[in-house]
Amino acid sequence: MTPRHVRALRGTAAAWIATVVAATAHTLGGGGAPSPAFVTAVGILAAPLAVAFVGRRLSAWRIGATVLASQALFHVAFAVTADADPAALHGHHVTRLGGDLSALVVPDAPMLAAHVFAAIATVAGLYGGERMLRALGRGIRSLFSRLRPVAPRPSQPRSAPRHAGRALLAARIVLSDVSRRGPPVFV
């Protein structure tokens, strides 16, 4: 894989995992459960932003920024679109700043705590998980580098013991895989 592929994979994985964990934290923090289509849409929207944030090398603060951006995008998008579904937005969930400024939403304490805990767990999981996968890959690579090709042994014809005599020779002829059966010679 090229570094560009690794960066795209790291960013996309971070965006999707952060979005799914944010949806779970959002629900556990007292908010309504988002639909799978909504989580998918936010994951798709967060992926390019996450790829831009993660950088070329593994870094905990870059993964943290990616996770926070993905979670903030999820929470704001869910809070903004929750007015379309009255069951999704509970009265204790958010405090609105201003009358028409529905995009500026501040979560209440349980919701904020759930998102912060989810962000910390996601960053730890992504950072530790990638380090673990890299270590596993290095270990497998080192095992394969230690393997040496084994040259085939030269085949040695088996010789019959001398004392077996004619009986063994006759048995070898009868039990051989060469078939003498076929059409008659005159055909």
What is the tens place of the pLDDT at every residue in 41-99? 988 988 998 898 888 888 888 888 888 888 888 878 877 776 555 444 444 344 444 54
Token pair for 75: 């929470």
Which tokens sit at 125? 């999981």
Structural contact between residues 88 and 77, judged by C-beta atoms closer than 8 angstroms: no
2 phi/psi in degrees, rounded to 5: -80, 160
